[in-house]
Chains A and B, each alone.
Chain A
Amino acid sequence: MVKLKSMFKNNLWLALTNIKRRKIASILFFAVAFFISHSIFLLNLSSKFLMFPEISGSRQFFFAIIITFLTLCILVLGAVAVLLIKVRKQELGIFRMLGARRADVLVVSSLEMLILSLSGAILGVVSIILFIIFKVLYLPFFLEGMSGARTIRFIATGGQTIFMVVLIEMAVYTILLSIFLKRDITDMLRGTS
């Protein structure tokens, strides 16, 4: 138990140090999480609320816009992840050279991604709720005469969105990183592609 606690503390320290020292990459991941959470929140919301007859006419148009935006965000996420892995190639090689297993590197990177995507997603969901409440984004179907059941659905949608954003960011980054970590340590150190 003590060993696990110490390992967690070390991993957390490493993840926070990496976030602090790589501000641009961290801001990019945070921003991607922020925007993905907007799309997913609206997508989730629409799938829950679009069965109501008052907005069924604009359904297809609404879906099309959100899915396009979500696809773009995921592409940007993939590009940022590849870029960050390339930039950190030698660092990962140093970790491996000094005894870090692939799993150790993946755990720290996942923790980093968890912190960034969770904070980005929470802020994203909060901001879109504020947009809706202050009618920057006008969605009349759940604001006007919103019942208790609808409010609960609304809150559940927020939670579900945060979970999905974290899952998407962590999955994309972890999959790309695990492919990269299959390389030889010497290749990683020398930055050979």
Chain B
Amino acid sequence: MSIKLINVTKRYTNFPFRGPNVEAIRSVSMDINEGSYTCFVGPTGSGKTTLLCLLCGIIRPTGGDVVLNNIHVPKANDGEICQFRERYIGYIPQELFLIRDLTVMENILSPNAFSNNSIRQLKINANYLLERLKLRDKASWMPSSLSGGEKKKLMIARALLKSPLYILADEPVSELDQASTEIVLDLFYEYFKKGSAIVIASHKPLNLPREADIYTIQAGKVIYHRKGGRT
């Protein structure tokens, strides 16, 4: 199973306003295979978030093809893409998207309750992740009582809950202190060792494992690709 980008372009049009159209991604091709570790580095506004959104089918490309395990995103219907995302992808957005009326535990469980896993099983997994991320005693808190870093950790727990095959994380540690950053990267490595593919987008240098493929993105283009060492 793999996610492929084939000569992908993404242009944001500013219709009906008169601002300029932005070409966020320009002719990018890459393969993200099962069990790989990938990192996109580049300055703010280079197109990393757009690339992640394309990889999980949240947005459709303007040109080229995105293939999610034989599903061609430009031609696929919404249901097919959603099903792939629900089964195989855990996405951690850069912005803090949480449901403000639900507790920490409910925030983790609710978006994952559309799967076939029972709530009981999901709760067991959620407790493990909260323990790992040092949020266990805040399970019944409302998100508004959490700090920015804790909110980010909550979103990480939410994305990892079903042990997805692909974990796509957009700036996962940008709001975390050093200790929390290490905890999160260790957790990602644990999932990587279990067979998940990890894709991280970050504007700051991270302490990545030597298996990591590194793509340097600038102005929507891959300007450098360093293949990671295999174990």
* Residues of A bordering B, CB below 8 Å: 3, 6-7, 9-11, 13-14, 17, 21-22, 90-91, 93-104, 108, 184-186, 189
The answer to whether B93 and A10 touch across the interface, beta carbons within 8 angstroms, is no
- When the two chains form their complex, are residues B158 and A98 in contact, meaning their CB atoms are under 8 A apart? yes
The answer to whether residues A94 and B58 also contact, given A9-B119, A99-B85, A101-B83 and a CB cut-off of 8 A, is: no
Asked if B101 contacts A186 (CB within 8 A), the reply is: no
- CB contact between A13 and one of B98, B101, B113 (< 8 Å): that residue: B113
Kindly state the separation between the CA atoms of A186 and B116 in the bound complex, as whole angstroms.
26
Q: List, in ascending order, chain A residues with CB within 8 A of B109's CB.
A: 13
Task: Tell whether, in the assembled complex, residue B102 and residue A7 are in contact, meaning their CB atoms are under 8 Å apart.
Answer: no
Q: How far is the CA of A108 from the CA of B85 in the complex (A)?
A: 19
Instruction: Give residues 193-214 of B contacting A (CB, 8 Å).
Output: none
* Chain B positions near chain A (C-beta within 8 angstroms): 53, 58-59, 78-79, 82-87, 89-91, 93, 95, 97-99, 101-102, 106, 109-119, 158-159
CB-based contact A94/B113 at 8 Å: no
Q: Are B110 and A14 in contact (CB under 8 A)?
A: yes
Chain A residues with CB below 8 A from B102, complex form: 17, 21
Flag if B114 contacts A189 (CB, 8 Å).
no
List of B residues within 8 angstroms of A3 by Cβ: 116
User: Can you add 4 more A-B contacts, CB < 8 Å, to A21-B102, A99-B111?
Assistant: A90-B97, A95-B111, A97-B93, A100-B82
Show 14 A/B contacts (Cβ-Cβ < 8 Å), sorted by A. Answer: A9-B119, A10-B115, A13-B119, A22-B101, A90-B99, A94-B97, A99-B85, A101-B82, A101-B83, A104-B82, A184-B59, A189-B93, A189-B95, A189-B97
A residues within 8 A CB of B86? Answer: 98-101
Partner among B98, B114, B117, B118 whose Cβ is within 8 Å of the Cβ of A104: B114
Whole-angstrom CA separation of A101 from B83 in the bound complex: 7
Task: Report yes or no: A186 in contact with B113, Cβ–Cβ below 8 A.
Answer: no
Question: What chain B residues lie within 8 Å of A108 (beta carbons)?
Answer: 114
Contacts A22-B101, A98-B91, A189-B97 given; indicate if A7 touches B116 (C-beta within 8 A): yes
Minimum distance in angstroms from B112 CB to a CB of chain A: 7
What residues on A are CB-neighbors of B114 within 8 Å?
A: 10, 95, 99-101, 104, 108
CA distance A13 to B113 in the complex (A): 8
Give the CA-CA distance A144 to B86 in the complex, in Å: 61
Q: How far is the CA of A189 from the CA of B116 in the complex (A)?
A: 25
B118 and A97: CB pair below 8 A? no
3 closest pairs, A vs B, by CB? Answer: A99-B86, A99-B85, A98-B111
Give the residue of B90, B97, B119 whose beta carbon is less than 8 angstroms from that of A93: B97
Q: Is the CB of A6 within 8 A of B118?
A: yes
Interchain nearest-CB distance for B164 vs A (Å): 9
Q: Is the CB of B112 within 8 A of A98?
A: yes
The answer to whether A21 and B101 have CB atoms under 8 Å apart is: yes
